[in-house]
Amino acid sequence: MDKLILCKKYPKHIHKIKKIFHNYEVYYELLIPQYEKNDKLLFEVNPFQCNKCKNLFDIKKKLFKMIKIGIIKELNSEISNKIINNIKKYYDDYVVIESDTLETTWYIHLCYKCSSK
């Protein structure tokens, strides 16, 4: 739950976040009632997996840590920091925010490859 955008953006509503399983997919839902306005409905897809290619982010982060440790041991810190920053671009998870007119917002996690297409 600590990687959820819903937790970070709406910390006082954490207790209202629902985890939903539908067709082998994981979704997180948060309904925020607003006084004299439409209620805000927020969805987030599984933050541990790319929504398009289904790659797991945890596996990529473990690989990244192994690469980072190896680079630091072999090279000086200045060169290794530049290489690590370049590798980070490929292994960080990206988030696409989609919304419609009904106050519904989706937070969709994508890997670097899928977000750049």
Among the residue ranges 34-38, 61-65, 87-91, the one predicted with the least confidence is 87-91
Return the CA Rg of the chain.
18
Q: In 1-117, which ranges are E strands?
A: 18-22, 25-32, 40-45, 94-99, 104-110
Query: Is-contact 93 57, C-beta < 8 A?
Result: yes
Q: Checking DSSP bridges between strand 94-99 and strand 25-32, what pairing results, if any?
A: unpaired
Taking only the tens place, the pLDDT of each residue in 11-46 is 999 999 999 998 888 999 999 888 877 888 999 999
- Can you give the residue ranges of every domain in the chain? 5-115
**Average pLDDT in the 47-59 region?**
85
Cα separation of 93 and 113, whole Å?
10
